[in-house]
């Protein structure tokens, strides 16, 4: 549970020191006051990534960027089980290099000790729900892989490590493929990178199989509830290298076939993927890129047999997105034994009254949830009475003084 947050030069928060309440917190404010920025800071502590900025530079306060040592800091004190922890992230703008480019260096301190980013991920966990979250259902496949990476990364630090190693190996393999396609050369140079790509890639595929199956089992009943029993939800994993599909059907396995890949051992996936990389070597050299692997994975969401990404109405897609987010919340809780903080940015306005009530009821069950809105009128007074309410104005938080009675 988040107990205290300090922000320094983070977005439009020059300086913020604030204690957080348990339960549901509603942050109300006009446009451009800092509601989303507050959620962004909290989510950053869980993933060390922004859910909206393209570059970390955008996170540092404009004015601080012109100071000699520009640093933005997010510091959280939180409770996990019966222990208190302190997590600090520093975003430091480094001096320009010889090309005139100033990079941002991220430093993470957990309980005062500097940590590798990948080692500190998941120590503080959060689930974010934005109007944009429907992109997970209907957007491009990158959105779905990103969703999955961020969720699994929070429950399994080894996953994020594997993802970093996989991406690095993939880049090297692709660079070598380009070189071979342009200049020719000894193809056996690819052996080493095939090994690395399949080792880390196989790990990702294996973890995704397990995660998606568990997420589906949690999302389906939520979805049924939200649709008053009218619609089911199926989450289909379509791995680009499919450890289940016979060699000739790789990448073209029919979508309708529900298969159980859960029992396939990690080593078998890694070996199969290695073989597939070897089989695709020639086409990969021609194209200059690795054509098969978890960087091309797809996930589809089906409701009553219909692919929501292609055929879902807006309301259906939104409902599936809520079910998925609630499942993510349950899943991280189950896997880590600690309830993540649930962050919701401006999502009420788009929901019909039934879904709004369902969601608000679920929020009241959360150990901690933060909901932003421009309009308190969207929320039933019943819920307002049971929530804490803060006003956000121009990079400041106005929390009412604790009541004494
Ligand atoms: N690096 C930065 N330094 C200073 N201010 C910034 C920085 N980045 C963004 N801002 C400003 O922060 C303000 C608040 O943004 P935020 O997205 O949190 O608003 P909001 O309260 O969520 O508004 P809305 O209701 O429109 O979503 C914006 O006016 C924006 O220009
Ligand atoms: Mg906002």
- 325, 184: one domain: yes
Q: Which residue reads 């880390």 in tokens? A: 200
- 161, 282: one domain: yes
Per-residue confidence (pLDDT) for residue 131, from 0 to 100: 95
- 46, 35: one domain: yes
Query: CA-to-CA distance for 101 and 97, rounded, in angstroms?
Result: 5
- 216, 140: one domain: yes
Q: What's the whole-number mean pLDDT along residues 398-405?
A: 68
Per-residue confidence (pLDDT) for residue 260, from 0 to 100: 82
Q: How many CB atoms lie within 10 A of CB 387?
A: 21
Q: Which residue pairs, CB below 8 angstroms and at least 24 apart, start in 329-335?
A: 329/127, 329/366, 330/218, 331/151, 331/155, 331/211, 331/214, 331/215, 331/218, 332/125, 332/127, 332/151, 332/154, 332/155, 334/214, 335/155, 335/156
Ligand 1 mutation pick, 27, 34, 65, 130, max ligand atoms within 8 A of CB:
34
| Averaged confidence pLDDT in the chain | 94
| Ligand 1 mean position, distance from CA 390 (Å) | 17
* Cβ(7)–Cβ(29) below 8 Å: no
Q: What b/e readout covers 119-146, taking b as 16+ CB neighbours within 10 angstroms?
A: ebbbbbbbbbbbeebbbbbbeebebbbb
- Ligand 1 atom, smallest distance to 58 CA: 1
Domain that holds residue 235: 128-337
- 247 confidence band (pLDDT: 50, 70, 90): low
- 207 confidence band (pLDDT: 50, 70, 90): very high
- 271, 230: one domain: yes
Determine the distance from the C-alpha atom of residue 115 to the mean position of all C-alpha atoms in its chain, rounded to a whole number. Answer: 20
Tens digit of each residue's pLDDT (9 = 90 or more) over 173-186: 999 999 999 999 99
- 197, 57: one domain: no
CATH number for the domain including 94? 3.40.50.300
pTM value surpassing 0.85: yes
Indicate the residue among 302, 337, 372 that finishes a domain. Answer: 337
| Number of independent structural domains in the chain | 2
| Structure tokens that stand for 266 in this block | 């990690």
- 121, 132: one domain: no
- 251, 376: one domain: no
- 403 confidence band (pLDDT: 50, 70, 90): low
Per-residue confidence (pLDDT) for residue 255, from 0 to 100: 55
| Ligand 2 mean position, distance from CA 23 (Å) | 21
- Concatenated DSSP letters of 135-151: HHHHS-HHHHHHHHHHH
| Ligand 1 mean position, distance from CA 110 (Å) | 28
CATH number for the domain including 245? 1.20.1050.90
Ligand 1 mutation pick, 12, 56, 58, 345, max ligand atoms within 8 A of CB:
12
Three-state secondary structure string covering 239-300: CCCCCCCCHHHCCCCCCCCCCCCCCCCHHHHHHHHHHHHHHCHHHHHHHCCCCCCHHHCEEE
Q: H or E segment at 218?
A: helix 190-226
Q: Which of 39, 35, 1 is closest to 19 using CA atoms?
A: 1
Cβ of 35 below 6 Å from ligand 1: yes
What residues flank ion ligand 2 with Cβ within 5 A? 35-36
Tens digit of each residue's pLDDT (9 = 90 or more) over 254-286: 555 567 898 999 999 999 999 999 999 999 999
Ligand with minimal distance to 58 CA = 1
Tens digit of each residue's pLDDT (9 = 90 or more) over 26-82: 999 999 999 999 999 999 999 999 999 999 999 999 999 888 889 999 999 999 999
- 231, 366: one domain: no
- 194, 147: one domain: yes
Calculate ∠ Cα 247-249-252, nearest 5°. 140
Q: What's the whole-number mean pLDDT along residues 116-121?
A: 93
Residue length of the chain: 405
Per-residue confidence (pLDDT) for residue 297, from 0 to 100: 97
Tens digit of each residue's pLDDT (9 = 90 or more) over 317-333: 999 999 999 999 999 99
Tens digit of each residue's pLDDT (9 = 90 or more) over 2-11: 999 999 999 9
Residue 20, pLDDT > 60, answer yes
Determine the distance from the C-alpha atom of residue 246 to the mean position of all C-alpha atoms in its chain, rounded to a whole number. Answer: 32
């Amino acid at each position: 549970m988040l107990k205290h947050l300090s922000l320094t030069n983070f977005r439009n928060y020059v300086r913020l020191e604030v204690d957080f309440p348990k339960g549901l917190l509603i942050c109300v404010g006009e446009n451009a006051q800092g509601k989303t920025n507050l959620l962004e800071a909290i989510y950053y502590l869980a993933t060390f990534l922004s859910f909206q900025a393209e570059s970390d530079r955008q996170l540092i306060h404009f004015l601080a960027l012109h100071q000699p040592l520009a640093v933005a800091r997010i510091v959280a004190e939180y409770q996990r089980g019966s222990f208190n922890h302190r997590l600090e992230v520093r975003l430091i703008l480094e001096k320009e290099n010889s090309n005139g480019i100033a990079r941002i260096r991220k430093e993470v301190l957990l309980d005062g000790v500097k940590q590798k980013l990948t080692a500190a991920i998941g120590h503080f966990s959060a689930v974010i729900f934005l109007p944009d979250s429907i992109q997970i259902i209907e957007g491009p496949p990158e959105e779905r892989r990103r969703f999955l990476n961020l969720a699994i990364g929070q429950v399994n630090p080894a996953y994020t490590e594997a993802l970093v190693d996989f991406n690095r190996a993939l880049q090297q393999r692709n660079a070598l493929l380009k070189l071979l396609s342009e200049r020719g050369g000894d193809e056996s140079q690819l052996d080493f990178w095939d090994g690395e790509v399949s080792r880390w890639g196989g790990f990702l595929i294996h973890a995704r199989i397990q995660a998606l199956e568990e997420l589906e089992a949690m999302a389906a009943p939520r979805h049924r509830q939200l649709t008053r029993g009218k619609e089911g939800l199926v989450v289909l994993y379509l791995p680009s290298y499919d450890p289940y599909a016979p060699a000739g059907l790789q990448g073209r396995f029919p979508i309708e076939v529900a298969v159980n890949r859960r029992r396939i051992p990690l080593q078998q996936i890694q070996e199969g993927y290695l073989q597939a990389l070897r089989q695709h070597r020639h086409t990969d050299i021609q194209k200059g890129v690795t054509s098969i692997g978890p960087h091309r994975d797809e996930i589809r969401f089906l409701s009553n047999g219909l692919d929501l990404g292609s055929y879902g109405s807006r309301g259906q897609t939104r409902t599936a997105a809520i079910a998925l987010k609630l499942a993510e919340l349950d899943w991280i809780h189950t896997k880590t034994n600690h309830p993540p903080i649930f962050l919701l940015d401006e999502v009420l306005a788009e929901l019909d009254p039934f879904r709004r009530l369902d969601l608000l009821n679920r929020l009241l069950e959360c150990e901690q949830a933060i909901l932003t809105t421009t309009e308190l009128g969207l929320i039933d007074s019943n819920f307002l009475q049971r929530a804490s309410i803060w006003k956000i104005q121009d990079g400041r938080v106005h929390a009412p003084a604790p009541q004494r009675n």
